[in-house]
């Protein structure tokens, strides 16, 4: 769509949304205003979230006010961000927009309203179990089925095969002991009248398959559904999409096959490409990378060994920088960690904020141990993966939202400038959220007004003196718990995650959690140290990648990597590399000791050869 076509569209759109459409690029605008089902391929830094929100806004504005639009996201945080961005575009939505994870969508819009009409009703007074409970029951199921003690790889494969089975995949090639364990585990859930998180979309799929009437009612409520990160959401969601497509629901699915990272859980880029082959789907692609310069874009694509039409934004003059730091001789991963310390110190002295530097690693193991040791000895503060963070769940999200508003100060409608944090909500939005949680827990009735709650929040969140992002979170957390009676809400909540949320938040605060971190932002003054997987969806000025030694990155066994293993390793490394706005530092070597204490003399990682365009000859130990 060209700019001369905008006036006709603007007549149907709210003013703020029309203004947003005018600022989109042509390819973003064409995707956002497409009529019908759509596959939107969006590479790194392509403005995917902005386009997705504009798409949802367009569907809301051009669909009957008696119908709704659903946006299904990978995480609760992403769902909240979609809702907040829509509000800033003049689309508060209410019941017309459902922005949630696949688990929340299945529970709220399929299981709770329709399961009791089918042969697979929900248990009376069911609960959603914790991860610890689920792990214990998997152990029991494995013992009962004759599988024995579960190893980590068993748990991963059981989870994957369970999802494939639920989606209807032919199980002839599946491990018989795994199948028996999965069957027994499901029996244990039924006996205890609980669901785990995987059971929620599984049961929803069973409900959809059981009756055409339910599918038609959902299609009438949600004629349009938008799904983000489709390449990583797996076989059960794909089966749900196919069921609803057959009833006339139009889907917009957004993803990037090159960034598939959860194949070990059953995810596959095949599901995205399968939709592209279906009648009624059109594919659009976002090719402009607004994050990185041209040199970084080209280097990243070399890792994929793929040709993509990605290009830097026209306004981006800086090409970006790739730096190689070579570890000479038979020096081990401790030297990689020490060099990472030196690099970080140099970049901070040159003016980069610590929280804009990320040191990324593939998984737990010797490299992570050495990184922790080196950075602690150098007294460089770092924000480690899964450390000092608040837990998932609605109550913890509410605490995070309140903290974000507390730091942002009196708005209205302003935004938090904290790196990594979503825009701060208004007091009335927070009061409405609090009210809804109390109604759901049976502590209030729908007719109560949230205005009194807003006054309470005003006294708490606009209090003087004003806080700083680096302030300790403990005092504010305790005031929040006390004045909003969050302990009572936690105990009465239907979400089992809320039952332990306050205890976990207090534990995180006791470990030194800052207000910025409790608000969902990066820790002020701390570099980020996390896995390739956990870096997905984030961006930094500088990315440091240590441990780039063949057989370590990419990892492979004595017989060498299979084609599938190498493809997955390339995708994971590509995601890590493309997090950088300005510079990627590659720390390379030819020696490392693995997690079993076995030394390996190989060469620098083949991924570095791809990036730098050179292939030096080295002896390689397999």
pLDDT tens for each residue of 467-476: 988 899 999 9
Range scoring the smallest mean pLDDT among 122-131, 183-192, 311-320? 122-131
pLDDT of 419: 62
SS3 annotation, 371-396: HHHHHHHCCCCEEECCCCCCCCCHHH
* 99-151 per-position pLDDT tens digit: 889 998 999 999 999 998 888 778 777 888 888 899 999 999 999 999 999 99
Distance (Å, rounded) from C-alpha 213 to C-alpha 204?
Answer: 14
pLDDT of 616: 53
Q: How many CB atoms lie within 10 A of CB 332?
A: 17
Distance (Å, rounded) from C-alpha 543 to C-alpha 459?
Answer: 41
* 483-523 per-position pLDDT tens digit: 999 999 988 887 777 888 899 899 888 888 888 888 877 67
Pairing of strands 382-384, 527-531: parallel
Q: Closest by alpha carbon to 414, among 406, 23, 433?
A: 406
Pairing of strands 540-548, 194-195: unpaired
Return phi, psi of residue 164, to 5°: -65, -40
Residue 621 has pLDDT above 50, yes or no: no
Q: Closest by alpha carbon to 209, among 174, 231, 236?
A: 236
Q: Closest by alpha carbon to 266, among 365, 335, 181, 164?
A: 164
Distance (Å, rounded) from C-alpha 58 to C-alpha 61?
Answer: 5
| End-to-end C-alpha distance for the chain, whole angstroms | 54
Supply the Cα-derived Rg of the chain in whole angstroms. 25
Q: What one-character-per-residue DSSP string does 477-535 give? A: HHHHHHHTTHHHHHHH-SSHHHHTHHHHHHHHHHTT-BHHHHTTSPPTT-EEEEETGGG
pLDDT of 333: 96
Question: Among residues of the chain, what percentage have pLDDT more than 90?
Answer: 58
CA atoms lying within 13 Å on the CB side of residue 447: 0
Distance (Å, rounded) from C-alpha 155 to C-alpha 430?
Answer: 39
* 59-114 per-position pLDDT tens digit: 999 988 889 999 999 887 788 788 878 878 888 667 888 888 999 899 999 999 99
Second-level CATH architecture of 24-113+203-251+260-286 = 3-Layer(aba) Sandwich (3.40)
Residue 51 has pLDDT above 80, yes or no: yes
pLDDT tier for residue 581 given thresholds of 50, 70 and 90? very high
pLDDT of 429: 79
pLDDT of 9: 52
All CATH 3.40.50.300 domain ranges in the chain, comma separated: 24-113+203-251+260-286, 294-381+525-612
- 374 Cβ contact partners less than 8 Å away, ≥ 6 residues apart: 334, 337, 338, 340, 341
* 543-564 per-position pLDDT tens digit: 999 999 999 999 887 777 888 8
Residue 620 has pLDDT above 60, yes or no: no
Hey, what are 503's tokens?
């205890």
Residue 451 has pLDDT above 80, yes or no: no
Give, for 202, the enclosing helix (H) or strand (E): helix 199-210
SS3 annotation, 498-509: HHCHHHHHHHHH
Distance (Å, rounded) from C-alpha 580 to C-alpha 94?
Answer: 37
Binding residues: 42-49
pLDDT tier for residue 525 given thresholds of 50, 70 and 90? confident
Residue 305 has pLDDT above 90, yes or no: no
Task: Please give the average per-residue pLDDT across 196-220, as a whole number.
Answer: 94
Binding residues for ATP: 42-49
For the beta sheet containing 321-326, the strands, ordered from the edge strand earlier in sequence to the opposite edge, are 321-326, 580-588, 540-548, 357-361, 527-531, 382-384
Three-state DSSP at 170 gives: coil
Task: Please give the average per-residue pLDDT across 400-422, as a whole number.
Answer: 69
Hey, what are 577's tokens?
């590399």
Residue 41 has pLDDT above 60, yes or no: yes
Give, for 141, the enclosing helix (H) or strand (E): helix 131-145
Second-level CATH architecture of 294-381+525-612 = 3-Layer(aba) Sandwich (3.40)
Q: Using alpha carbons only, what angle is made at residue 328 by residues 327 and 330, rounded to the nearest 5 degrees? A: 100
Range scoring the smallest mean pLDDT among 105-109, 113-117, 227-231, 423-427? 423-427
pLDDT of 417: 54
Distance (Å, rounded) from C-alpha 28 to C-alpha 284?
Answer: 9
- Between the alpha carbon of residue 254 and those of residues 30, 276, 342, 536, the distances in Å are 14, 12, 39, 15
Q: Closest by alpha carbon to 579, among 348, 387, 418, 358?
A: 358
Pick the most confident of 498-507, 543-552, 590-599, 605-614: 543-552
pLDDT of 411: 55
Q: How many CB atoms lie within 10 A of CB 27?
A: 19
Residue 161 has pLDDT above 50, yes or no: yes
pLDDT tier for residue 4 given thresholds of 50, 70 and 90? very low
- Between the alpha carbon of residue 336 and those of residues 161, 282, 343, 355, 369, the distances in Å are 38, 46, 10, 21, 12
Q: What one-character-per-residue DSSP string does 530-592 give? A: EETGGGTT--EEEEEEEEEBTBBTTB--TT---HHHHHHHHHHHHHHHTTEEEEEEEEE-SEE
Task: Please give the average per-residue pLDDT across 419-436, as a whole number.
Answer: 75
The whole-chain average pLDDT of the chain stands at: 88
For residue 275, say if its preceding peptide bond is cis, omega within 30 degrees of 0: no
pLDDT tier for residue 177 given thresholds of 50, 70 and 90? very high
Q: Using alpha carbons only, what angle is made at residue 188 by residues 187 and 194, rounded to the nearest 5 degrees? A: 105
pLDDT of 7: 46
Pairing of strands 281-286, 250-255: unpaired
Task: Please give the average per-residue pLDDT across 574-590, as a whole number.
Answer: 97
Task: Please give the average per-residue pLDDT across 314-338, as a whole number.
Answer: 94
């Amino acid at each position: 769509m060209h700019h001369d076509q905008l006036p006709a569209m603007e007549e149907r759109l709210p003013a703020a949304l029309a203004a947003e459409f005018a600022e989109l690029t042509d390819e973003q605008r064409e995707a956002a205003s497409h009529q019908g089902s759509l596959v939107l391929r969006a590479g790194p830094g392509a403005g995917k979230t902005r386009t997705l929100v504009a798409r949802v806004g367009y569907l809301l504005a051009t669909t009957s006010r008696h119908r709704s639009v659903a946006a299904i996201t990978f995480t609760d945080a992403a769902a909240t961000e979609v809702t907040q961005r829509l509000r800033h575009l003049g689309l508060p939505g209410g019941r017309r927009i459902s922005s949630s994870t696949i688990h929340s969508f299945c529970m709220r819009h399929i299981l709770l309203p329709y399961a009791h009409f089918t042969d697979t009703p929900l248990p009376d007074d069911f609960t959603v179990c914790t991860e610890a409970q689920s792990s214990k029951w998997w152990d029991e199921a494995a013992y009962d089925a004759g599988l024995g003690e579960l190893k980590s790889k068993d748990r991963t494969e059981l989870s994957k095969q369970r999802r494939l089975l639920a989606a209807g995949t032919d199980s002839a090639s599946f491990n018989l002991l795994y199948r028996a364990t999965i069957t027994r585990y499901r029996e244990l859930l039924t006996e205890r009248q609980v669901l785990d998180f995987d059971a929620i979309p599984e049961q929803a799929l069973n409900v959809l398959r059981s009756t055409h009437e339910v599918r038609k009612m959902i299609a009438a409520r949600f004629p349009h559904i938008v799904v983000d990160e489709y390449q990583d959401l797996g076989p059960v969601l794909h089966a749900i999409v196919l069921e609803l497509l057959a009833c006339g629901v139009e889907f917009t699915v957004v993803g990037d096959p090159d960034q598939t990272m959860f194949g070990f859980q059953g995810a596959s880029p095949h599901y995205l490409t399968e939709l592209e082959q279906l009648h009624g789907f059109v594919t659009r692609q976002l090719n402009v990378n607004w994050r990185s310069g041209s040199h970084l874009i080209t280097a990243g694509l070399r890792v994929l060994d793929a040709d993509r039409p990605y290009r830097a934004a026209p306004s981006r003059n800086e090409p970006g920088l790739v730096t190689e730091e070579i570890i000479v001789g038979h020096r081990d991963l401790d030297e990689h960690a020490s060099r990472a310390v030196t690099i970080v110190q140099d970049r901070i002295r040159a003016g980069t904020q610590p929280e804009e530097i990320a040191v990324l690693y593939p998984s737990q193991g010797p490299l992570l141990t050495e990184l922790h040791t080196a950075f602690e000895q150098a007294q460089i503060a770092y924000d480690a993966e899964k450390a000092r963070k608040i837990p998932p769940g609605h109550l913890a999200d509410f605490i995070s939202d309140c903290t974000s508003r507390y730091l942002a100060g009196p708005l209205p409608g302003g935004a938090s400038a904290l790196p990594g944090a979503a825009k701060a909500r208004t007091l009335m939005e927070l009061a409405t959220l609090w009210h809804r949680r109390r109604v759901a827990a049976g502590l209030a009735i729908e007719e109560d007004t949230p205005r009194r709650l807003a006054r309470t929040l005003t006294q708490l969140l606009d209090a003087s003196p004003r806080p700083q992002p680096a302030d300790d979170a403990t005092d504010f957390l305790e005031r929040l718990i006390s004045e909003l009676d969050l302990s009572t809400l936690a105990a009465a909540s239907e979400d089992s995650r809320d039952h332990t949320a306050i205890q976990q938040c207090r534990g995180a605060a006791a470990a030194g959690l800052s207000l910025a971190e409790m608000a969902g932002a990066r820790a002020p003054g701390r570099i980020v140290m996390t896995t390739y997987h956990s870096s997905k969806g984030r961006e930094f000025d500088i990315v440091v990648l240590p441990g780039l030694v063949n057989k370590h990155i990419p990892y492979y066994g004595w017989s060498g990597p299979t084609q599938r293993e190498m493809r997955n390793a390339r995708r994971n490394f590509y995601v890590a590399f493309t997090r950088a706005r300005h510079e990627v530092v590659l720390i390379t070597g030819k020696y490392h000791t693995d997690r079993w204490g076995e030394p390996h003399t190989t060469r620098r990682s083949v991924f570095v050869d791809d990036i730098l365009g050179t292939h030096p000859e080295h002896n390689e130990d397999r």
